[in-house]
Amino acid sequence: MADTTKNNPTGPRHIAFIMDGNGRWAKERGLPREHGHRFGVKAFRAVLDHCATLDIDAVTFYAFSTENWKRPKREVNAILRLMDSYLAECEKKIDDYAFRIVFLGDKAPFEGARRTRMERLEAHTRTRRRILNIALNYGGRDELVHACNLLLASGKNTVTAADIEGALYTKDSPPLDLIVRTGGDLRISNFLLWQAAYAELYFTDILWPDFGPAEVDAAIAEFHQRKRRFGGV
């Protein structure tokens, strides 16, 4: 993966993607939903590679939510297996990998080889500057509850916004600038609830497997048209 080429001087510094529409993409082709996720990984790779050529400090992907466990077991297993193969591949080329990998979410349900690999990837890439956040068993509400519990356990009984920020899974990422959601739905779906406070939102009807570098550029171009006031005038 190429390293940064400083060709994104006005931001966004941190983009997050809600990769929606894999199931519908497969259905339109008469394929099982799992195939949609397989092509979803292809799109993920293309988008990540493209982001690596831009001067972006952090990129976040919503891969599996705390609610996604409700899906049929076969689909859940298919998504986790896709994740396993991607992570195994990352591990093989870990020295060339451009990003620090951070998993957002509670790792408790992951055990054995999967858990070890997740922790190894985080540890081995810890000193890289740019961040790839993979939200896996992630929910925005769950993240806030987890942060509150961390702060209580540390002995605090009043907290500041900075304390909360420092207890989020995204504590090492720069502020979130842009959320891109594919698949046509106009909602946040429990993603980065705290971090979204002043992020720009970009929705497209394109289904995730059809999303790619040209659409990333379109979202960034739209971002540059927005007037960000952060509550000011």
Binding-residue total with ligand FPP (CB under 6 A): 18
Cβ 143 vs Cβ 62: under 8 Å: no
Cβ-Cβ contacts under 8 Å for 93 (sequence gap 6 or more) = none
The helix/strand/coil state of 100 is strand
Among 23, 105, 139, 140, binds ligand FPP (CB under 6 A): 23
Q: Closest CB to ligand FPP belongs to which residue?
A: 23
85, containing H or E segment: helix 73-92
Nearer to ligand FPP, 165 or 203 (CB): 203
Residue closer to ligand FPP (CB basis): 84 or 222: 84
Closest to ligand FPP by CB, 86 vs 194, is: 86
Catalytic hit among 49, 55, 68, 210: 68
68 binds ligand FPP (CB under 6 A): yes
From the list 5-13, 18-26, 118-126, 154-162, the region that binds ligand FPP by CB under 6 A is 18-26
Of 39 and 223, CB closest to ligand FPP: 39
Establish if 20 lies at the interface with ligand FPP (CB under 6 A).
yes
CA distance 164 to 166: 5
d(C-alpha 194, C-alpha 175), whole Å: 10
Q: Is 44 in the site for ligand FPP (CB under 6 A)?
A: yes
Q: How far apart are CA 3 and CA 55, in angstroms?
A: 9
DSSP string, 110-148: --HHHHHHHHHHHHHTTT-SSEEEEEEEE-HHHHHHHHH
Report the alpha-carbon distance of residue 49 to residue 192 in Å, rounded. 23
Specify the stretch interacting with ligand FPP by CB under 6 A; choose among 4-12, 40-48, 103-111, 151-159: 40-48
Does the footprint of ligand FPP cover residue 83 (CB under 6 A)? yes
> Within 164-223, which residues bind ligand FPP (CB under 6 A)?
183
Q: Sign (positive/negative) of CA torsion 118, 68, 39, 53? A: negative
Whether 20 is catalytic: yes
Report the catalytic residues. Answer: 20, 68
List of residues contacting ligand FPP (CB under 6 A)? 19-24, 37, 40-41, 44, 61, 63, 68, 79, 82-83, 86, 183
